[in-house]
Structure 1
Amino acid sequence: MRAVCLCQMCTCGRHRCPHGTTKIFENSGMPFPTTEYLEKYPTYGSVHPPQSLKPKQEFQACRGKMEGITTFKSDYRPYEIVNQPRRVLEEYKPSHGEMDLGTTYRQDFNSYKVQPVVVVRPLERQLVKKGKLDTVPTYTDDYRAWDIPKNKLYKPEQLYHPPAVKFGNSTTFQDDYIPQEIKPRQSFKPSLVVKHSTIPFTGNTSHRLDYVPHQLEFKFARPKEVYKPPNQSFENLTTHQCDFQGLVGETAKICRPVCTRVTPNAPFEGSTEFRESFQPWEMSPPAVKKVAEYVPPPGAMQSISTSRLDYVPLQVSRAVPIRPAAHRRRNSSPFQGKSTTKEDFPAWETCRQGIIKRQQQIPNPSGKFDGLSTFRSHYVPHELIPTGSCRPFSAALKSSAPFREMTTYSAEYTPKRQEICPASCPFPPGYVFESTNSQGHRFFRKIMPAVKAY
């Protein structure tokens, strides 16, 4: 009996062999001519490639004379042209009565007398000469015409003579074109027929045959440098401290004016809506959360760090500040708080601005209100006509015949036995596990039933 794979045993199409990592060759040394592609796509019989439906490139040249008939001339049929009817204009009839030429401009415009505008342009001074005018220009006086012979024409003579017959002359294409027989090109496309090799697959590649293993060189490990502190002390001097020298100058004076606020001295005695609506009430103090007492951890703390082990203390002198000394002038006279702003902008008394009320344009009614509004006085009531409903009546159709509890499904349905896929079991019934190949396929062999001897 031939061994059956788990993929071939499956009937539901949902079970496959658990493929592992792909191996280039097996440890046993026996070659396998089958591949995964051949397993998925088996070979078919002698199937010929489909024939091409492309038309052949066979050009048939017309060697006769070209007729003077085109597709438009043969298919075109002239039709009778009818003039479009024109619209008859109506006769103009002048309107009766006189036209009122009065406009808003004529009513509102007040005419006034206008004086003529005085000309500001200066008067033209005409220079009158008594001598005779010479009418010969400079061009006619200086220009002399030359005797230039006429150039000869280099244009060739026209030898074309129009034909007496319609479309009698041949075209340039007919004169120059020589019809040639078109030969089909040779196709360099490989044939679609798959050529199967009869030699079994050996598994040898150019990498396996030509590869020479080399021994790796020893990697040099660079030793880690030990930190060495410098012997000289740090002077704490920078380029700014060395080159910068402070300049002695006066301190800037404050020119800001004194900010005086106008506040009333008398306290506010009146009551507000906020005071009346929101009365103060007693509040209980917030609960204080008890903090757990700190318990120090047992044992002594090792205060040894990388900085303490590697750091070497140096005796460094304290840096002297190079900041310039502040030279302040002491004045015994009292400070006069006067400035240009205080003298030019004195404070003035402010008073509260009154409420600006807008004048009422519509006067208030003097009489008593009758209770009649514009809507009530102009509203005309109309009689309502209810719309008829187009919805059908929801009356159930009653039948005197008894109800048959019989459907097409219950009458024609034939229950079928549910088959269990043998590949869904870890050990398929009726099969014995044989081996697993390098590609991950599990093969089982079917158990033959024992035959009783007579």
Structure 2
Amino acid sequence: MRSRCLCQICTCGRHHCPHGTTRIYENSGMSWPTTEYLEKYPLYGQVLPPQSLKPKQEFRACRGKMEGITTFKSDYRPYEIVKQPRHVPEEYKPKQGKIDLGTTYKQDFNSYKVQPVAIVRPLERRQVKKGKLDTVPTYKDDYRAWDIQKSELYKPEQMYHPPTVKFGNSTTFQDDYIPREIKPRRSFKPLPAVRRSTAPFNGDTSHRLDYVPHQLELRFVRPKEAYKPTDQAFADLTTHRHDFQGLTGETAKICRPAHTRVTPNAQFEGNTEFREQFQPWEIPPPKVKQVPEYVPPAGSMQLNSTSHLDYVPYHADRVAPIRPISHRRNNNFPFQGKSTMKEDFPAWESCRQGLIKNQQQIPSPSGKFDGLSTFRSHYVPHELISTESCRPLNVAFKSSVPFDDVTMYSIEYKPKKQEICPASYPTPPGYIFENTNSQGHKFFRRITPKVKAF
């Protein structure tokens, strides 16, 4: 049998083997306090750590009195604020006379009489079945209720006795809590009062004290070169104009069909292409399939399938791929970059089409806006009616029936037996101590029960 370590026998995960010496002293019988690192790197004398070169942060105290006047306070001059005049809108005066409600659509459109369209859809034929409907479903017909006995109650007996006095029992906090005297903590917050110095302010700053003025060198001025025009005349030809002279060709013809204007006085015939080509035809009623009456089979049902009875498992070999071997050729000559598409279809010269802009047909309004919108002129205010709330009243529901205090958990719960970890014993039950590893792992061998021969 294969031996197992104490870490493998443990089932709770809290038992581990005690680790001893390392693998360096595996063959020796005794352990040494030194290690390989201490043998190679011995200790040196007392060496002080290197001093820090970081400058010390010294605080410079104020050398004079600060007046409290800033550049903004000294240079700022308040000015008088004048209230801006508010624009008062003029009172609306309605125009006299009647409004002409005629539009361009009413002037140009000539109405004509339209006859009602005949319905082409065939008439709906309803099929009425005669006979009484059987309202008993298959579930109620085939289902048989079982006689289930009520399981016993596993709930332990209640040992709690309520106190006779109101709030008689003490809580866990009252039993375990020991009151102690509270001492106020010392406040390290500075005083809110500001101490002002009496000495006058000299006006010296760190910049004024530490600044050393230096004399600036003269700036080197580069002499300006005089402009000399060239003797050659400007050719006014670019590389594009010189190389691309353009090709002569015919102008493109317009493929747009001729616009035929429809006269508005023509009478609408009422016939369409769909009505002329698709005539209604008679649709025969659908045939009703007769469903045979269900007859339940006699006897018990066999749950064996054809796969369970006839299937014989066998070992299948892996299929070899039938993919052909690829023969790649390494061509060292450079790529030409020519194709049939490039030789037969050369690039044409194309010009960018100009921007097509439609002329504005509706003229822009002229005149002053009255300030009255359609909503303001036609709006009629209505009185708001508050809706009645259908929410039920927030009243606690009281019942005189006593609380049953029986749940599915208390009825169906079965307590499980707590298992003890075998590694908690000095020698796990069913194992014999074998040896200890160099890393400190204890190995145990399982005891095999002896089987008597017949």
Shared fold, TM over 0.5:
no
Q: For the superposition of Structure 1 and Structure 2, which TM-score range results when normalised by the shorter chain? A: under 0.3
Q: Which has the higher contact order (CA 8 A, sep 6+)?
A: 2
Instruction: Say which one has the larger Rg.
Output: 1
Instruction: Normalising by structure 1, report the TM-score.
Output: 0.21
Instruction: Normalising by structure 2, report the TM-score.
Output: 0.21
